[in-house]
Amino acid sequence: DAFVVSAGCWSPELVRPLGLKLPIYPVKGYSITVPLSEPGRAPVSTIHDDNFKVVSTRLGNRLRATGFVELADFNRDIPGARIATIKKSVQSRFPGCANLDDAETWTGFRPMTPDGPAIIGRGPRDNLFLNTGHGTFGWTLSAGSAAVIAQVIDGEEPAVQLDAFRPGRFSE
């Protein structure tokens, strides 16, 4: 009865046949995840290293460090130099917490809108809803956004004001 588009950076392609233009661009970042060998040397909470622009966070017995904001379309290459910078940050802030040679590497895309807020609300069809474009904060906002779009689908008053998130704002 109701379709919710939540395809991140791929949402524009998905709705293009409907004549709907969503300005969502993939903004690339990288991470490493590594088991802790000396947990006492690792952060217990999230630490933002402003020198290297790298964020390190604790995931149980592992540490995850992320960084970089790149416009590279959907290129999934993981250059060694990027990973080296992230490792340098971890090594300088939390020396000896892990064997960084054991780190898993990853790259992904933040679905960014030009003005920042996600795109949440009713689309240009009776049964079409949008919950996409969450940019840097998709994990943080996931549960709240899901609750709010469910309220919109049910015709209820959303728990938060959705003006800043309205899908039509880019063509006004």
Ligand X SMILES: Cc1cc2nc3c(=O)[nH]c(=O)nc-3n(C[C@H](O)[C@H](O)[C@H](O)COP(=O)(O)OP(=O)(O)OC[C@H]3O[C@@H](n4cnc5c(N)ncnc54)[C@H](O)[C@@H]3O)c2cc1C
Q: Which residues bind ligand X (CB under 6 A)?
A: 6-10, 14, 29-31, 66, 108-111, 132, 134-140
Nearest distance from C-beta of residue 68 to ligand X, angstroms: 7
Which is nearer to ligand X, 35 or 108 (by Cβ)?
A: 108
Q: For ligand X, which residue has the nearest CB?
A: 138
Kindly report the number of other CB atoms within 10 A of residue 25's CB atom: 17
8 Å CB contact between 96 and 34: no
Which is nearer to ligand X, 122 or 134 (by Cβ)?
A: 134
C-alpha–C-alpha distance, residues 169 and 151, integer Å: 20
Amino acid found at 63: L
Nearest distance from C-beta of residue 58 to ligand X, angstroms: 12
Question: Residue 119's beta-bridge partner residues?
Answer: 132
Nearest distance from C-beta of residue 25 to ligand X, angstroms: 12
Nearest distance from C-beta of residue 26 to ligand X, angstroms: 9
Which is nearer to ligand X, 37 or 88 (by Cβ)?
A: 88
C-alpha–C-alpha distance, residues 67 and 83, integer Å: 9
Q: What token pair was written down for 158?
A: 């959303």
Which is nearer to ligand X, 37 or 164 (by Cβ)?
A: 164
Which is nearer to ligand X, 38 or 114 (by Cβ)?
A: 114
Nearest distance from C-beta of residue 133 to ligand X, angstroms: 7
10 Å CB burial of residue 108 (0-12, 13-18, 19+) is middle
